[in-house]
Amino acid sequence: MSITVDNRRDKRAEYRAMFKANVRGRLWVDKIMVGVILTCALIAITPLMWILFELFVQGGQALSWEFLTQEPGAIGQGTIAIGPAIQGTLIIIGLSCIIGLPIGIMSGVYLSEFGGNWLATQIRFFLDVFMQFPSIVLGVFAFLAIVLVLGHFSLWAGAVALSLIMFPIVARSTEEALKMVPWSIREAGAALGLRKWIVTLRIIIPGAKKGILTGALLSISRVGGETAPLIMTVLGSSVFFQGLDSPMDALPLRIWRMSLLPYDDARLAGWGAALVLVLVILAIHVGVRYFFLNRDNGKGIIAKLLNGGKRN
């Protein structure tokens, strides 16, 4: 029976009684659901904690000054070291940032600020597909396009392959970060007679700084652990930097190589390299956040340089 003017009062009383009767049941459901989601969260982080624990226990034994700074000697001779791999990983990450971040961030700016058209829709779709590409495919691409053409493995080829993984991630996360800046801010800028590129560059991008950086850091983490594209491009090596045209070692490559070898010290080197890789990525995250995001309280070094020490 539907509610009418006549029975409205009775109906209301009826509904109120129903709500009341249900309170106990709902409280239980509430408790159970909180329990379930908490359990899920714990299950999700268990493997992660386990891996980290294992890494510190196993890899920690390998750590020493020599391990971090020397070139690796012959396998099975007792000299294990990952100096070139650390150097290689840092150089490759740096190079792919130089290539991938500007392209990615600028694509994101285009999509967010100028992207209300057909072309942008196509680019967005392409980026989403590109993001799901198996990384080895991009490695093969760099192999065909650079390694075969130049005739040798090189750091450049690796950086290009990794930047291809990076830029769709950065582009999409930049776009999302920029879209978080309220439309009213853009209108306020326009109402001041500012040109669109000035509003974008000086008001919108600074407002989305945190989101853009987070996207960039995620992409760095992602490529920092990539192995497959590097096998096809930088190959691996056991000596320090020889030039951007030469093969180079990298931490994921070293982990992969060492873990395949049937020697105890090789396995130990693999564990150590894995621990170091995690620490390197962590250091990049903490460092970048410290430099760029402490501007408000004037602690960041970049902030101090930008402000010339005057403001803040």
Residues that bind another protein in the complex, under the rule CB under 8 A: 116, 182, 184-195, 198-199, 202-203, 206-207, 209, 296, 311-312
Sign for the CA dihedral angle at 113, 118, 119, 120 comes to positive
Residue 310's Cβ-count burial label (10 Å; 0-12, 13-18, 19+) is: exposed
Query: What's the rounded Cα separation, in Å, for the pair 187 and 7?
Result: 51
Neighbours of 221 (CB within 10 A): 16
* Structure token digits, residue 274: 């894995």
Q: In the bound complex, what is the minimum distance in angstroms from residue 173's beta carbon to another protein?
A: 19
- String of b and e for 133-166 (b: at least 16 CB within 10 Å)? eebbebbbbbbeebbeeeeebbbbbbbbbbbbbb
Question: Cβ closer to another protein: 128 or 187?
Answer: 187
**Min dist. Cβ of residue 312 to another protein (A):** 7
Q: How far is the CB of 285 from another protein (least distance, A)?
A: 22
Amino acid at 68: L
Smallest gap from Cβ 56 to another protein, in A, equals: 39
Residue with smaller CB distance to another protein, 56 or 291: 291
Q: Which is nearer to another protein, 41 or 192 (CB)?
A: 192
What lies within 8 Å, CB to CB, of 252 at 6+ separation is 89, 224, 225, 226, 227, 230, 277
Residue 17 or 198: which CB sits closer to another protein?
198
Instruction: Report the distance separating Cα 40 and Cα 58, nearest Å.
Output: 28
- Residue 208 Cβ vs another protein, minimum distance, rounded to whole Å: 9
| Residue closer to another protein (CB basis): 3 or 188 | 188
Query: Judged by CB, which is closer to another protein: 47, or 193?
Result: 193
Shortest Cβ 171–another protein spacing (Å): 22
